Amino acid sequence: MTETEVKRRVRVLVAKPGLDGHDQGAKVIAMGLKDAGFEVIYTGLRQTPEKIVNAAMDEDVDVIGLSILSGAHLSITRRIMELLKEKGLESKMVIVGGIIPEEDIPKLKEMGVAEVFVSGTFISEVADFIQKNIK
């Protein structure tokens, strides 16, 4: 057995924070990452930052993917990063996807978001990013 084969599969939580129900992107990413070999857990709609962080902890995921199209990406992500820090989970990789205006991308990265994927991103780009950057 090679080293990569004994390593457990990377676990990704795909989460949809807030009340917005536009979940095509989140679902497509979840299905795509699953086909790319990741373990994927999808939270469903209407998740609070607390629920998402708890799910990340309970499911012991390596990556948290947030899909946000409601315009509330800054406040929601800030809250989630705070909660992760409080729980000592700042090592989890957080990625954000959705309708994110260009000027907000550096702000999200400053909060500790590993990467922001805007609409039109290929699933393979997301998968590659996770593979290359996961510790």
The residues binding other proteins (CB under 8 A) are 18-24, 27-28, 30-32, 34, 40, 42, 44-46, 48, 70-72, 75-76, 99-101, 118-120, 122-124
- The SS3 call for residue 93 is strand
CB nearer other proteins, residue 4 or residue 125: 125
Length of the chain: 135
What is 2-64 written as a DSSP string? -HHHHSPPPEEEEE-BSS----HHHHHHHHHHHHTT-EEEE--S-B-HHHHHHHHHHTT-SEE
CB nearer other proteins, residue 21 or residue 37: 21
CB nearer other proteins, residue 118 or residue 134: 118
Shortest separation between residue 22's beta carbon and other proteins, angstroms: 7
The closest of 67, 28, 65 to 45, measured between CA atoms, is 67
Shortest separation between residue 128's beta carbon and other proteins, angstroms: 12
CA 56, 95, 59: angle at the middle one, nearest 5? 15
Shortest separation between residue 93's beta carbon and other proteins, angstroms: 20
CB nearer other proteins, residue 6 or residue 20: 20
Helices vs strands, H then E, count in the chain: 6, 5
